[in-house]
């Protein structure tokens, strides 16, 4: 299977702890996105990369959140000092952008529960 | 500010009948629209898309209609099948902007055998 892979699938942590999620995009895709989804809502954009460059960050992304995509391959999303409000499904998506309209391919997500 | 709106949270139809899912948007800069389907514990899966230069796009049992003047699009599924039961998200993006997708809240479709 060469789809978007996310690890772990589930993460339970205590408030105040740091967590890190990993995303492996489809190999030939140059764009990688992070979204967050809470119950009853659609996915909300957090940030995206084109190759290794982080091109946009949402206002939703507080300074406790940091994302990296070293060498333009896999990406990590770290949340420091987690809060209960961070509990959500974190979705990674990738696409191959040529400057036109694009469709995103999503991974299965990481479900974060902050106790 | 919800730029993409799916005002009906759920829809239930009988197998074999038509399912019509609606979506409205407020941002006139949106020019590419997509529908995603999501099963529990999985990520959204791309279903069908339409560019603003078209008013209809068809793929098998799925057809998306776009009414730009009304800022409205709809997804028609015919005939509906029990396997279509899922949450459907409408999404939109603007060329020349950040190209990121803006999603609606989703609609849960249940197709009864």
B106 sits in the region (left: phi over 0; alpha: psi -120 to 50; else beta) called: left
Q: Please give the Cα distance from A51 to A32 (Å, whole number).
A: 8
Q: Please give the Cα distance from B83 to A101 (Å, whole number).
A: 29
Q: For the ranges A28-42, A67-81, A93-107, which has the lowest average pLDDT?
A: A93-107
pLDDT at residue A99, rounded to an integer:
67
Which among A42, A43, A101 has CB closest to B95? A101
Which tens digit of pLDDT belongs to each residue from B4-27? 999 999 999 999 999 999 999 999
What is the sign, positive or negative, of the torsion defined by CA atoms of A58, A91, B13, B80?
Answer: positive
Chain A residues within 8 A of B43 when measuring between CB atoms: 4, 6, 91, 93, 106-109
Q: How many helices (H) and strands (E) does chain A have?
A: 0, 11
Answer yes or no: do A106 and B45 touch at CB < 8 A: yes
pLDDT at residue B98, rounded to an integer:
53
Q: Is the pLDDT of residue A94 over 70?
A: yes
Judged by a CB distance cut-off of 8 A, whether residue B100 touches chain A is yes
Answer yes or no: do B43 and A44 touch at CB < 8 A: no
- DSSP 3-state of A50: strand
Q: Is the pLDDT of residue A98 over 80?
A: no
* B13 alpha carbon, distance to own chain's centre: 16
Chain A residues within 8 A of B44 when measuring between CB atoms: 43, 91, 106
- Name the helix (H) or strand (E) containing B61: none
> Nearest CA to CA, how far is A14 from chain B (Å)?
22
pLDDT at residue A60, rounded to an integer:
78
Contacts of A15 (CB under 8 A, 6+ apart): A82, A83, A84, A114, A115
């Amino acid at each position: 299977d060469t789809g978007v892979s996310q690890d772990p699938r589930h993460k339970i942590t205590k408030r105040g702890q740091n967590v890190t999620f990993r995303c492996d995009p489809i190999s030939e895709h140059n764009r990688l996105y992070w979204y967050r989804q809470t119950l009853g809502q659609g996915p909300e954009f957090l940030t995206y990369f084109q190759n290794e460059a982080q091109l946009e960050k949402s206002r939703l992304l507080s300074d406790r959140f940091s994302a990296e995509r070293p060498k333009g391959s896999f990406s990590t999303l770290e949340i420091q000092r987690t809060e209960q409000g961070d509990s959500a499904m974190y979705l990674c998506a990738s696409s191959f952008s040529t400057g036109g309209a694009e469709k995103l391919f999503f991974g299965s997500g990481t479900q974060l529960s902050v106790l | 500010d919800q730029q993409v709106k799916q005002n009906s949270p759920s829809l239930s139809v009988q197998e074999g009948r038509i399912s019509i899912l609606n979506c409205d948007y407020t941002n006139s800069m949106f020019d590419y629209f997509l529908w995603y389907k999501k099963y529990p514990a999985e990520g959204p899966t791309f279903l069908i898309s339409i560019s603003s230069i078209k008013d209809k796009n068809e793929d098998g049992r799925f057809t998306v209609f776009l009414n730009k003047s009304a800022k409205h699009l709809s997804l028609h599924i015919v005939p509906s099948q029990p396997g279509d039961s899922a949450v459907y998200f409408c999404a939109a993006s603007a060329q020349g902007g950040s190209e990121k997708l803006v999603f609606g809240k989703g609609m849960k479709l249940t197709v009864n055998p």
